[in-house]
């Protein structure tokens, strides 16, 4: 009586990956068919895009553009991690800090970030600092909000328990508050990285035409649809890999936590 229904799914992991692969395969076949149906100069097929991609990654121009873009990403996101985590922890712990910073946080939360780009350029020009600042602003808010939420939603009995055992403020931070808030912080980093990538491309497409954004605009101007698609495909692939790496890290670091996401 141990098995009432025969189990066909031998390995659920395998089934999940199979379905995922199948979904992608259908999408690519659909893309290919649609491109042949339309037969348009502006809509390359998947195979055309792949050929363009292979040419693209063999040009030094592409790698230079990539490096230019990622300088802003690295600086901006690193600053967002540092500032966002610190500010989130301070705001989560002390009500007075919350009162001081909350209005600005709300403004940043409510404002469409792209609208801030012209202001930043007016203020600090067209250089790398401006692009890094855009990346920073895109990413920092979700990191602050999630870190703060991590402290706020922390199980209060953990803090009480640590205090009952004589923990001082420093011990409380290292043994309870930071590990306890880590799952929510990781969610913030994940969402923040997604936004940082958006910010990196958005600023280059909208106002400061350098790097990957410049490349896309150039190919677009030259009606090189295959190259436009190839560049975008590369950026999407990179984002997917980076975000999955972070997700993996999250599972490794905080295996006890559920999948709580606050956007």
Tell me whether residue 198 or residue 254 sits nearer to another protein (CB atom). Answer: 254
| 3 state SS of 105 | helix
Q: How far apart are CA 123 and CA 132, in angstroms?
A: 13
Question: Which of 187, 188, 192, 201 has the alpha carbon at shortest distance from 72?
Answer: 201
Q: How far apart are CA 139 and CA 246, in angstroms?
A: 15
Q: How far apart are CA 182 and CA 62, in angstroms?
A: 37
- Kindly state the smallest distance separating residue 178's Cβ from another protein, in Å: 11
- Kindly state the smallest distance separating residue 154's Cβ from another protein, in Å: 11
- Kindly state the smallest distance separating residue 222's Cβ from another protein, in Å: 54
Interface with another protein (CB under 8 A), residue total 19
Is there binding between residue 158 and another protein (CB under 8 A)? Answer: yes
- Kindly state the smallest distance separating residue 248's Cβ from another protein, in Å: 18
Largest CA distance in the chain: 74
Rg (CA), the chain: 23
- Kindly state the smallest distance separating residue 169's Cβ from another protein, in Å: 12
Q: Is the dihedral of CA 248, 63, 135, 87 positive or negative?
A: positive
Residues 96-155 that bind another protein (CB under 8 A): 155
Only segment of 75-83, 156-164, 207-215, 230-238 that touches another protein (CB under 8 A): 156-164
Tell me whether residue 17 or residue 174 sits nearer to another protein (CB atom). Answer: 174
Angle at 210 between CA 205 and CA 211, to 5 degrees: 95
Around Cβ 139, how many Cβ atoms within 10 Å? 32
Tell me whether residue 7 or residue 157 sits nearer to another protein (CB atom). Answer: 157
Tell me whether residue 41 or residue 161 sits nearer to another protein (CB atom). Answer: 161
Residues 17-56 that bind another protein (CB under 8 A): none
Supply φ then ψ for residue 163, to 5 degrees: -65, -40
Around Cβ 222, how many Cβ atoms within 10 Å? 10
- Kindly state the smallest distance separating residue 59's Cβ from another protein, in Å: 47
Q: How far apart are CA 191 and CA 187, in angstroms?
A: 6
- Kindly state the smallest distance separating residue 31's Cβ from another protein, in Å: 43
Residues 160-199 that bind another protein (CB under 8 A): 160-167, 171, 175-176, 179, 182
- Sole binder of another protein in the list 2, 37, 58, 157 (CB under 8 A): 157
Residues 242-261 that bind another protein (CB under 8 A): 254, 256-257
DSSP label at residue 113: G
Contact set with another protein (CB under 8 A): 155, 157-158, 160-167, 171, 175-176, 179, 182, 254, 256-257
């Amino acid at each position: 009586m141990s098995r009432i229904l025969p189990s066909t799914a031998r390995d659920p992991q395998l089934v999940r990956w199979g379905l995922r692969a199948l979904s992608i395969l259908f999408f690519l076949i659909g893309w290919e068919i649609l491109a042949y149906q339309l037969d348009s100069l502006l809509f390359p097929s998947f195979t055309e895009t792949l050929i363009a991609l292979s040419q693209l990654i063999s040009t030094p121009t592409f790698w230079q553009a990539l490096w230019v873009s990622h300088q802003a990403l690295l600086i901006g996101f690193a600053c967002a991690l540092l500032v966002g985590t610190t500010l989130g922890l301070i705001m989560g712990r002390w009500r007075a800090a919350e009162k001081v910073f909350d209005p600005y946080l709300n403004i940043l939360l409510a404002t469409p970030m792209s609208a801030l780009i012209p202001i930043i350029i007016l203020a600090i020009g067209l250089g790398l600092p401006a692009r890094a600042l855009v990346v920073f602003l895109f990413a920092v808010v979700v990191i602050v909000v999630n870190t703060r939420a991590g402290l706020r939603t922390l199980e209060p009995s953990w803090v009480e328990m640590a205090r009952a055992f004589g923990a001082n403020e420093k011990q409380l931070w290292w043994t309870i508050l930071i590990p306890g808030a880590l799952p929510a912080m990781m969610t913030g980093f994940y969402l923040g990285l997604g936004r940082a990538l958006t910010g990196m491309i958005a600023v280059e497409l909208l106002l400061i035409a350098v790097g990957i954004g410049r490349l896309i605009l150039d190919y677009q101007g030259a009606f090189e649809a295959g190259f436009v698609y190839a560049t975008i495909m590369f950026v999407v692939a990179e984002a997917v890999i980076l975000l999955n790496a972070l997700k993996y890290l999250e599972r490794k670091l905080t295996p006890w936590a559920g999948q709580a996401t606050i956007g």
